[in-house]
Amino acid sequence: MHDLSLYLLDILENSVRAGATVIATSIVVERADDALTITVEDDGPGLPVEPEQALDPFFTTKGHKKTGLGLSLFRQAAEAAGGGLEVGRSDELGGVRVSARMSIVNVDRPPLGDIAASLATMVVTNPAIEFRVRVCDGGDRVSLRGPDVARHLAEIVAFQDSLA
Amino acid sequence: MADRITSPDQLKALAAKAKADIDLREGRKETQVTVHMGTCGIAAGAREIVAAFMAELAANGVTSTSLHQSGCAGLCEEEPMATVTTADGTLYRYGLLDKDKVRTIVVNHLVGGTPVEAYLIKT
């Protein structure tokens, strides 16, 4: 994967395929702590296995495949950038929660990429799902719900340009 | 001139045929394009393919086609790929897509009604 927006797209697709009707994305920049955290939570049925098994590249929920690389690749990227990835249950929405944290300044941190394009792709192709987005960089915060996500992508573009 | 209707069963049969004809006609508005967005598809550029379909559908004034996404179709080596599902349920799987191929598919297949054989996945 070239950048973090593609990992995000992959995690969002997992939630869609799991049957979620609400999917919340949070991207938080804490410059004082040198931390970038990307979190996706959904109201789907939750993990069918223990979190550690879900991170196994040879575990997948798809019957016709033998590998499930999305989460394990994201974890690898986060760890390479001085962070890590956690998978568990979402307290807020009841489904799965995936959260990746990494160092902003780490030379191995992938660029943020086009977060707005990833979100737009999912919003356009899944009109029945409510997407929520919260991006926060210090005092700057954008919090969007449902159709607002599509209408306010420019704000997300401005956010991602500030981090690159 | 149509045959006269002489029984309730004939009327039911005629009504069923009319409904089927209407469903087929209405169904043509429900051609679906599904871009496969598993990890393999995303890594191969599926997001740009969605954007290309959005742009070409708009540029060509296509309002009879809806755009969707799904997971891996099990043909990772053919990614990025998209499946066109026509009103009668026929599936056309296109592989190794790029923006130019998407434009050709929209113009020839979704507008013109002729599948682009050269881009179809041979299985």
CATH of the domain at A19: 3.30.565
> What ranges make up the beta strands (E) of chain B?
31-36, 65-70, 82-85, 91-94
| Residue from A13, A16, A65, A122 whose CB has the most chain B CBs within 10 Å, to mutate | A13
Contact criterion met (CB < 8 Å) for B69 and A122: yes
Contact A121 B72 (CB under 8 A): no
pLDDT at A138: 78
Three-state secondary-structure class, residue B40: helix
Q: Which domain holds residue A116?
A: 4-163
CB contact under 8 A, A1 and B43: yes
Q: To the nearest whole angstrom, how far is the Cα of B40 from the nearest Cα of chain A?
A: 9
Q: Coil, strand or helix: which one is B75? A: coil
Chain B residues closer than 8 Å to A16 by CB: 69
User: Looking at A94-98, A127-131, B101-105, B113-117, which range is the least confident one?
Assistant: A127-131
Q: What is the pLDDT of residue A41?
A: 97
Which residues of chain A make contact with B53, given a CB cutoff of 8 A?
Answer: none
- A50 — pLDDT class (breaks 50, 70, 90): confident
Residue B34 pLDDT class (50, 70, 90 cuts): very high
Distance CA A146, CA B121 (A): 36
Q: Which residues contact B88 (CB under 8 A, 6 or more apart)?
A: B24, B27
CA atoms A111, A115, A118, A122: torsion sign: positive
Nearest CB partner across the interface for A125, out of B38, B42, B67: B67
Q: For chain B, what is the domain count? A: 1
Q: Which one of A15, A124, A153 makes the best mutation probe of the B interface by having the most chain B beta carbons within 10 Å?
A: A124
Number of domains within chain A: 1
Tokens of A22: 């609400």
Instruction: Share the mean pLDDT of chain B.
Output: 86
Buried b (16+ CB within 10 A) or exposed e, A137-164: beeeebebeeeebeeebebbeebbeebe
- Asked whether residue B48 is domain-assigned, the answer is yes
Residue range of the domain that includes B76: 28-119
From the list B37, B67, B74, which residue is nearest A13 (CB)?
Answer: B37
Instruction: Supply A68's token pair.
Output: 């499930």
**Per the domain annotation, does B54 fall within a domain?**
yes
**A11-28 tens-digit pLDDT:** 999 999 999 999 999 999
pLDDT score at B28? 40
Contact criterion met (CB < 8 Å) for A9 and B47? yes
Name which of B59, B80, B95 is nearest A9 in CA terms.
B80
Tell me, letter by letter, the H, E, C secondary structure of A67-78: CCCHHHHHHHHH
DSSP strands (E only) in B4-113: 31-36, 65-70, 82-85, 91-94
Identity at A11, one-letter amino acid code: I
- Give me the CATH number covering residue B55: 3.40.30.10
Largest Cα span, chain A: 46
Distances, alpha carbon B69 to alpha carbons A17, A81, A129, B33, B84, in Å: 10, 30, 12, 8, 11
Given a contact cutoff of 8 angstroms between Cβ atoms, the answer to whether B52 and B99 are in contact is yes
Q: Which residue has the tokens 């086609």?
A: B65
Residue A69 has pLDDT above 80, yes or no: no
DSSP label at B77?
G
pLDDT band at B25 (very low <50, low <70, confident <90, very high): very low
Q: What is the arithmetic mean of pLDDT over A78-98?
A: 95
Closest chain A CA to residue B54: A124
